Amino acid sequence: MLTLKKIFKSLTIEIKKSSEINELNAIRIKYLGKKGVFSNCIKNFKSFSFEEKKKYIIMFNDIKKKVISEINEKRIELDNVLLYKRIKKEKIDVSLPGRRLEHGSIHPINCSLNNIKIFFSKLGFESIHGLEIEDEYHNFDALNIPKNHPSRNHNDTFWLDSDHLLRTQTSSMQIRIMKKEKPPIRFIFPGKVYRNDYDSTHTPMFHQVEGLIVEKNINFSNLKWIIYNFLYDFFDKNISIRFRPSYFPFTTPSAEVDIITNDKKSLEILGCGMVHPIVLKNVNIDPHIYSACAFGIGVERITMLRYGVSDLRSFFENDIKFIKQFKYI
C-alpha cells in the first residue's frame, strides 16, 4: 500500500513536470505499459492472501484511474499550449483583403441572345442552331436571291470555293427547316453570320436571330404584333419604333424596323416581311394554303442600343473591364 502511494506521488510529479506530448507519452508507457511499473505491481499480488489481494486491487484500480485522468488532463493542457503557439505563429492580419475566386461575366451578346430565346419560347418558338458553312443553293438560290445580286460578290461574301461560303444570314435555315418540317412551323435560328465589312458599326462576324412562322392565314399584322411586343420586352414601352417599306428578295411585302433615339436619329435593328411565294414553292409548301412571315434581328445592334455602346468592335476586343459592366437581366 505504501509502495503504491509512493509510486502515485512520484508519477504525479513527473506528469506535472512534463512539457511535451512525447514526454507525456513516455511517462504513460513507463507506468501503464505492458511492462510498466503498474504491471510489475500486479505480479507482486500473487504472494498476498485473498483478503489482501482484494484490498490492494481496489486501491490499485483507484490509483490507476487517477493516473489516467491526470495524464488526459495534462494532454489537453499541452494540446492547448501547442495550439496557442501555432495560432501565434500563423497570426493573420485580418485587415488585408481576402483572396477569392473571381466569377466570370456573361458576354453582353450572350445576355441578349438568352433574353431573345426566353421571349420567343413563351410564344411557342423552338430554337435551332444551323450550319455556319453553307452552300450557294441554301444561302442564295432557294431564297430567291438573283445571280447578279451584290451580296454574292466576293467583296461582300467570304467564299470558300465555287459553291461553299460562310453564311451571310441565318435565313438559310428557313429553307432547311421548311424542307424538313411540315406546317405549322414556328422556329427561331440564332447564330453567327459573316460579311466582308469592318468599321464602328460593322464587323466581319456578327450574330443574327432569324424567326419563321408558317401557318394558315398568318399575315403582316401578326408579324407586327410579334415585333412590337418583342421590342417592348427587350427595351421598354417608352421606345419609339418605326416600320418602313423595304426590299428583300425572299419576302414580300418587306419592311425594316428602326428604333428612334432620343436625339431623333434612327437605328435599323431588324428586317421582316411575308415569305415570298417563290420561296415557299422551292420547299414544296403550297402558298395558296399556307402563308409565312419571317424576321431577322441584328443582335449586336439591339445590344448596342440597350446598353449605350457606341462602337460595335468593343464586343470583340476581349476587354474584361468592358464585359464586367454587363449582367444577365
329 residues of the chain, pLDDT tens digit each: 446 667 777 777 777 778 788 887 887 777 777 766 766 676 666 666 667 767 767 777 777 777 788 888 888 888 888 888 887 777 776 777 777 777 777 888 998 999 999 999 999 999 999 889 999 999 998 998 988 888 888 778 899 998 999 999 999 999 999 999 999 999 999 999 998 877 666 788 999 999 999 999 999 999 999 999 999 999 888 888 999 999 999 999 999 999 887 777 788 889 999 999 999 999 999 999 999 999 999 999 899 888 888 888 888 888 888 888 776 55
> What fold is seen in the domain 108-323?
BirA Bifunctional Protein; domain 2 (3.30.930)
d(CA 300, CA 95): 44
Give me the residue spans of the domains in the chain: 2-89, 108-323
Record the pTM. Answer: 0.66
81: left (phi over 0), alpha (psi -120 to 50) or beta: alpha
State how far the Cα of 31 lies from the Cα of 323, in Å rounded to an integer. Answer: 71
Instruction: Assess contact for 252 and 243: CB atoms under 8 A.
Output: no
| Residue 112 contacts residue 299 (beta carbons within 8 Å) | yes
Alpha helices in the chain (DSSP H): 2-17, 21-32, 37-44, 50-89, 108-122, 136-139, 172-180, 220-234, 277-282, 299-307, 320-323
Q: How far apart are CA 255 and CA 295, in angstroms?
A: 9
Tell me how far apart the alpha carbons of residues 124 and 281 are, in angstroms, rounded to a whole number: 25
